[in-house]
Homo-oligomer: A and B are copies of this chain.
Amino acid sequence: MDQLRPISFETGIAPNATASVLVTFGRTKVICAVTIEEDVPRWMKVQRVEGGWLTAEYSMLPYSTLDRKRRDITAGKLDGRSSEIQRLIGRSLRAAVDLGKIGARTIWVDCDVLQADGGTRTASITGASVALAIAVNKLVAAGKLAESPLKRLVSAVSVGMLEGEALLDLCYVEDKDAEVDMNLVMTDRGEFVEVQGSGEEAVFTADQMNRMLELGRKGLDEIAELQRRVIAEADKPDAGALEDLSAFFGRGK
């Protein structure tokens, strides 16, 4: 099927964050929250790197899967898959923002999966990009940033090959059966940010790759349009909210 699952964004799900979004792709639901820390990682100070940083963390809530998923802290370490996903989210969003323009701050992007049904990493990137845009707009509106450091929107979607057909935005069952699994991260101007295709212990041809890229690109156009609409709507915070933010944001100074 060449159709996206129903996609929606509910903003403000976690009011203590600078911005937050509950993003839904079909039955997949992810809480994406952006918070600001008035400090930079130690390595930036040691290496005297100017500007700020953006870092992402990803986790599946224990009740997001049909069989309860053990917490990372109980297992004693972050599993390899989660580590890989949060690195991908971080790289993708750093492509969206000019870190030289945010000052000596760290933008934290947290993605917690509330319900998992395939595509949690692409939903995370898509939702986090919206939360990031809203957060940045708030900071500009509150006078905390002179100009917006946002360079572009990023959005992500999965594509795959199932029984010889290219398939868009796979749910868990489709993903499990797919012969090839590809994750595409692109900008709203059609540039690539990340391409990760894997035969998952099998192989695929150049022709299959091209068909998947084509289908993915089409889906990402639609998603970017949805993102823009949500951001525009959220972009009208009332005066009271701005004052609160302004008060909070100044504390760390």
A residues with a Cβ closer than 8 A to B are 13-17, 20, 27, 31, 33, 35, 37, 57, 59, 61-68, 71-74, 76-78, 80-81, 83-84, 86-87, 91, 94-95, 108, 110, 112, 114-116, 152, 182, 187, 191-206, 209, 213, 248
The answer for the CA separation of A17 and B16 in the assembled complex, in Å, is 25
Q: Which residues of B contact A200 (CB under 8 A)?
A: 91
Q: Which residues of B contact A33 (CB under 8 A)?
A: 61-63
B63 touches A20 (CB 8 A): yes
Closest residue to A77 on the B side, CB-wise? B77
Q: Which residues of B contact A95 (CB under 8 A)?
A: 199, 201-203
Q: Which residues of B contact A59 (CB under 8 A)?
A: 71, 73
The answer for the CA separation of A84 and B82 in the assembled complex, in Å, is 10
Closest residue to A38 on the B side, CB-wise? B67
- Most chain B CB within 10 A, of A57, A81, A194, A199, is at A199
Q: Smallest distance from the beta carbon of A64 to chain B beta carbons, Å?
A: 6
Q: Which residues of B contact A248 (CB under 8 A)?
A: 66
A195 touches B193 (CB 8 A): no
The answer for the CA separation of A158 and B157 in the assembled complex, in Å, is 24
Given A33-B63, A192-B203, A202-B95, A71 and B84 touching (CB < 8 A)?
A: no
Contact of A192 among B57, B67, B116, B204 (CB under 8 A): B204
A193 touches B187 (CB 8 A): no
The answer for the CA separation of A213 and B213 in the assembled complex, in Å, is 14
The answer for the CA separation of A143 and B173 in the assembled complex, in Å, is 27
Given A77-B77, A213-B206, A63 and B192 touching (CB < 8 A)?
A: no
B27 touches A15 (CB 8 A): yes
The answer for the CA separation of A28 and B122 in the assembled complex, in Å, is 30
Contact of A66 among B16, B64, B199 (CB under 8 A): B16
The answer for the CA separation of A110 and B248 in the assembled complex, in Å, is 30
5 A-B residue pairings within 8 Å (CB atoms) = A15-B27, A35-B63, A91-B198, A195-B198, A196-B196
Closest residue to A71 on the B side, CB-wise? B57
Given A203-B193, A248-B66, A84 and B80 touching (CB < 8 A)?
A: yes
Q: Smallest distance from the beta carbon of A39 to chain B beta carbons, Å?
A: 11
Given A13-B114, A77-B77, A194 and B197 touching (CB < 8 A)?
A: yes
Given A73-B77, A199-B194, A205-B192, A61 and B112 touching (CB < 8 A)?
A: yes
Closest residue to A106 on the B side, CB-wise? B68
